[in-house]
Structure 1
């Protein structure tokens, strides 16, 4: 087990190091993606399957290693593949990548972090125990919580990998559709900030709190019936 963990740490460190050493982040900036849209659309027309597979693989890698660029790639998916196919690609690629990030974090740091920050993580662990999948589902719906941070934090909780996967798949779908749809107008967007309005963010927050509120109401009704 220790050998596997060390190999995983080394491979992850090498890839992340290469990302920053070779400044690969420049190829995932909003303006670079926007400037290359015509070239990629031509490539997609010439080799649709290859472009789709490469896009999918890169998206999984970026999200699995918590590298910057997922949001911009989601816009690119809308520009290249349209709302339907773009949403399908991003939904599965982001969930698979998030689950890999979850597994990596759990392999590398779970036991140590749980011991070192037991008190700080107590609230999160209690939330998972009390609310189960509703807790993760709510976090996935609220844009205020960073995508990569949820992956890492959840890896430190008792939640099962399969539960993390399918709850994330459903929970991230609404945000995915919003970004992919915005990507269909990529050439007209001036910046990333033009995508999410305050009203839309508040709507996501309300949507994220809804499952927890519903569970509380159902639990309260059941408690009254058994009282």
Structure 2
């Protein structure tokens, strides 16, 4: 079988797996499990089960987070809160960062090498995506780091947009790993006080968004200043 044909069947097979997982997730009501109400209602049960099966829950939670990111299943904030509730701020943050980074890398590789055409078609329909892709042309690392820090751009969109640029997998991995640390810590830390959170909007307050935005600007500002300094100057 020619390599081109193998690649075609590989794309079809992976696409079917992707669709099957998402369909199964919603068919069994998985979206209800990834809700703030479900976590709060089952808080005591989850804590008790984790205490009795700590290692099992740790690996299961990490895998669930990785899978949700890899298959672009909404619910990352809820899972981060759950990590804080079950494992505390430090271990919870560590597991969240590793799982979300690896999951995002899997999406990146799949979209670039398997779903490249689909990703381009999908992103071409979004004006926001077009602007994001354009931003990668100058300093891909800093730009991706900025997008990871600022919680205004959907996580799945930031995962897909770089696939149609020339950013390397290594740069993508490093920028993602660093960029998700502040947000992960905030959400995981809030998870320890889950009973006091009544709505997801309580987490992403204007103050929190502003803080992340300023942090992101500190990351990209040096690159912007360098770009202006090295740009063409008019003769006087």
Q: TM > 0.5 between the two? A: yes
Contact 1:83 1:177 in 2 (8 A): yes
Moved over 3 A (4+): 111-118, 120-126, 218-224
The 1:115/1:43 distance shift into structure 2, 3 A limit, reads closer
Of Structure 1 and Structure 2, the greater helix share is in 1
Aligned twin of 2:213: 205
Provide the secondary structure at the position in 1 that maps to 2:166.
coil
Q: TM-score, normalised by structure 1?
A: 0.90
Query: Which string of whole-angstrom CA distances, capped at 9 and with x for unpartnered residues, describes residues 130-172 of structure 1?
Result: 1221110111111100111110112222111121111101011
The 1:112/1:66 distance shift into structure 2, 3 A limit, reads closer
Query: Which string of whole-angstrom CA distances, capped at 9 and with x for unpartnered residues, describes residues 149-206 of structure 1?
Result: 1101122221111211111010111111110111010022111111122112112112
Aligned twin of 2:80: 74
List alignment gaps of at least 5 residues for structure 1.
none
Contact 1:124 1:157 in 2 (8 A): no
Contact 1:125 1:158 in 2 (8 A): no
Q: How does 1:98-117 map to 2 (within 5 A)?
A: 98-111=104-117, 114=120, 117=124
Aligned twin of 1:180: 188
Cα distance in structure 1, aligned partners of 2:198 and 2:78: 13
Aligned twin of 1:86: 92
Aligned twin of 2:35: 29
Using the TM superposition, name which of 19-28 and 84-93 deviates more: 19-28
List alignment gaps of at least 5 residues for structure 2.
1-6
Paired residue total: 225
Cα distance in structure 2, aligned partners of 1:170 and 1:100: 17
- Aligned partner of 1:61 among 67, 74, 77: 67
Contact 2:111 2:119 in 1 (8 A): no
Contact 1:27 1:33 in 2 (8 A): yes
Q: TM-score, normalised by structure 2?
A: 0.87
Aligned twin of 1:97: 103
Query: Which string of whole-angstrom CA distances, capped at 9 and with x for unpartnered residues, describes residues 60-95 of structure 1?
Result: 111111111211010000011000000001010111
Provide the secondary structure at the position in 2 that maps to 1:214.
helix
Provide the secondary structure at the position in 1 that maps to 2:138.
helix
